[in-house]
Structure 1
Amino acid sequence: METLANLESFARTAEHGSFSEAARRLSLTPAAVSRNVAMLERNLGVRLFHRSTRRLTLTEAGESFQRSIADHLDGLQAAIAGVSTDADQPSGVLKVSLPPTFGVTQILPLLPGFLERYPKVRVEWHFENRQVDLVAEGYDAAIGGGFELAPGLISRALAPAHIVPVASPIYLENHKLPVDPSDLKALNGIVMRSLRSGRTRHWTMRDINGREMHAPLSESIVVNDPNAMQEAALLGLGVAMLATADALPALETGRLVRLIPRWYSDAGAISIYYGSRSLVPAKTRVFVDWVASAFKEKRLAERFAASLV
Structure 2
Amino acid sequence: MNNVVIIVNEVAGQGRAKKLWESWKDRLPFSFTLFKTEYSGHATAISKEYADASQEPLLIIAIGGDGTIHEILSGLIGYNHVRVGVVSAGSGNDFGRTFFVFKTIEQLNEYVLEFQSSEYMDMGTLKTNSEKFHFVNNAGFGFDAHVVYAANNSSWKKWLNRLGLGKLVYILYLVKELFCFQKFSFSLLNKEDEIKFEDVWFITVCNQPYFGGGMKISPSSLPNDSLIELTIVHHLKRTKLLFIFGTVFFGKHTAYKEIKQIQAKEFTIQMNDEVYGHVDGEFSCMTTPGSTFTFKVESDAWNLAKPPSKRS
For normalisation by structure 2, the TM-score amounts to: 0.27
Richer in helix (by share): 1
Structure with the greater alpha carbon radius of gyration: 1
Which structure dedicates a bigger proportion of its chain to strand?
2
